[in-house]
Amino acid sequence: MKIVVFASGRGSNFKAIVENIESGALTNVEVSLVLSDKPEANVLTYAAEKGIPHVCVDSKTFATKDDYEKALLEEVHKVPCNLLVLAGYMRILGEDFMTNVGCPVVNIHPSLLPSFPGLHAQQQALDYGVKVSGCTVHFVDLELDHGPIIAQVPVPVMDDDDEDSLSARILVQEHQLYTVCLQLIADKKVSIVDRCVKIKK
């Protein structure tokens, strides 16, 4: 399975994916391209170090979102891509992009969706006072953090947690969960019935 990864920052989930590919924990998955919307993103430096094709499509250099997303599509369509993987990509993809990308799109989010979508999900969880948070891998649709859920992992919320400490514990689980889900997709064990994801044993 060929994947294209979109990331905006440090790319820790991308690093975990690469490390799991290198160790053999993730098989039949190859990264065709890493794309960032930010030229200073550490994920681009890491991709360069690993010899993985990478490109920056700087959103600030486009007059409209439509123009920006057309440029994204051009880059994705230059390489083989069976799955688009969002790994800390901090922009919402529009309808034209989703209609024309030509493959499923997956995302990982630091809460147990549908609770606490959007930015600062960990702080949202703390503000609400939940006792359990976690992370979710889901297919992307046209609504924010809404698409069919592939898998989730719970993470307890401690009384003395702040956003940083809770985020750090959730991130550990993110790194494991994304690889599990990518392997299931690569092995063709994932299907969607209505909006429910079914996983073959």
The residues annotated with a catalytic role in the active site are 109
d(Cα 35, Cα 158) in Å, to the nearest integer?
35
For residue 152, the SS3 value is strand
CA–CA separation, 7 and 89 (whole Å): 4
CB atoms near residue 176 (< 10 Å): 14
End-to-end, the C-alpha distance of the chain in Å comes to 20
Collapsing DSSP states into helix, strand and coil, what is residue 198?
strand
Give Rg (Cα) of the chain: 16
Of 112, 110, 101, 175, nearest to 141 (Cα)?
101
Residue 89 structure tokens: 């990509």
H helix intervals, 24-103: 42-50, 65-76, 95-100
Length of the chain: 201
